[in-house]
Structure 1
Amino acid sequence: MQPLPVVNQTILEPELRIIDSQHHLRDRRDSHYMFDDYVQDVQRGHNIVASVYVESMSMIRVDGAELLRPIGEIEFANGVAAVSATGKYGPCRIAAAIVGYADLRFGDAIAELLDRALAAAPDRLRGFRQCTLEHPDPAVWRYVPHPPEAGIMSHPQFRDGFKQLAARDLIFDAAVFHHQLPEITRLADDFPNTTIVLNHIGQVAGTALKNSDPTQAFAEWRRNIAELARRPNVMCKVGGMGQPYFGFGFELQDRLPTYLELASAWRPWAEAVIEIFGVQRCMMESNFPADRRSCDYVTLWNALKHIVVQASKSEKNALFHDNAARVYRIET
Structure 2
Amino acid sequence: MSTKPPPPQPSHQGIALPNLEWLTSYTEDALQPELPIIDAHHHLWELPGSTYLREELAADLATGHHIQATVYVECHSHYDAEGPLPLRPVGETRFVTGQAVATSDAGAGPDRTARSQLCAGIVGWADLTLGDQVQPVLEAHISAGQGRFRGIRARPTWHGDPTVHPAGQGQEGVLRNANVQRAIACAGKLGLSLDIWVYHTQLEDVEHLAARCPQTLLVLDHCGGPLGIGPFAERRDEAFSIWRARIKALAAFPNVRLKLGGLTMPRIGFGFERTERPASSEVLAKAWAPWIETCIEAFGPERCMFESNFPVDKVGCNYAVLWNAFKRITQGSSATDRAALFHGTAAEAYRLERPA
Q: Name the residue aligned to 2:273.
A: 251
Trace 1:214-233 onto structure 2 (pairs within 5 A).
Answer: 214-233=236-255
Q: Name the residue aligned to 2:234.
A: 212
Q: Name the residue aligned to 1:138.
A: 162
Counterpart Cα distance in 2 of 1:78 and 1:42: 18
What is the Cα-based RMSD across aligned positions, in Å?
1.8
* Runs of 4+ in structure 1 over 3 Å off: 146-151, 206-212
> What's the offset of the Cα at 1:103?
1.3
Q: Does 1:51 align with 2:70?
A: yes
SS at match of 1:260: helix
Q: Name the residue aligned to 1:190.
A: 212
Q: Does 1:76 align with 2:100?
A: no
Deviations 1:181-237 (A, max 9, x none): 111111111111211000001011244657630001000000000000000110000
> What's the offset of the Cα at 1:82?
1.2
SS at match of 2:223: coil
Q: Name the residue aligned to 1:120.
A: 144
Counterpart Cα distance in 1 of 2:51 and 2:186: 33
1:94 to 110, 118, 133: 118
Trace 1:4-19 onto structure 2 (pairs within 5 A).
Answer: 4-6=22-24, 7-19=26-38
Counterpart Cα distance in 1 of 2:328 and 2:169: 33
> What's the offset of the Cα at 1:116?
1.0
Q: Does 1:240 align with 2:258?
A: no
Change (3 A) 1:210 1:17: closer
Letter in 2 for 1:300: L
Change (3 A) 1:18 1:188: same
Counterpart Cα distance in 2 of 1:43 and 1:294: 19
Q: Does 1:33 align with 2:57?
A: no
Letter in 2 for 1:261: V
Counterpart Cα distance in 2 of 1:58 and 1:120: 15
Change (3 A) 1:203 1:103: same
Asked if the contact 1:132–1:149 (Cα under 8 Å) also holds between the matched residues in 2, the reply is yes
Larger mean CA deviation between 49-58 and 59-68 belongs to 59-68
Counterpart Cα distance in 2 of 1:210 and 1:237: 22
Change (3 A) 1:171 1:103: same
SS at match of 1:141: coil
SS at match of 1:269: helix
Counterpart Cα distance in 1 of 2:324 and 2:270: 18
Number of equivalenced pairs: 330
Deviations 1:245-288 (A, max 9, x none): 22111011121100011001100000000011001100000000
Q: Name the residue aligned to 1:160.
A: 182
Letter in 1 for 2:23: P
SS at match of 1:182: helix
Deviations 1:267-320 (A, max 9, x none): 000000001100110000000011111111110000010000101111111100
Q: What is the TM-score when the length of structure 1 is the normalising length?
A: 0.95
1:314 to 328, 333, 336: 336
Q: What is the TM-score when the length of structure 2 is the normalising length?
A: 0.88
Change (3 A) 1:81 1:148: farther
Counterpart Cα distance in 2 of 1:85 and 1:147: 38
Counterpart Cα distance in 2 of 1:231 and 1:196: 10
Trace 1:166-177 onto structure 2 (pairs within 5 A).
Answer: 166-177=188-199
> What's the offset of the Cα at 1:132?
0.8
Counterpart Cα distance in 2 of 1:250 and 1:97: 30
> What's the offset of the Cα at 1:86?
2.6
Q: Can you give the 5+ residue segments of structure 1 that lack an aligned partner in the other structure?
A: none
> What's the offset of the Cα at 1:121?
1.5
Counterpart Cα distance in 2 of 1:278 and 1:101: 28
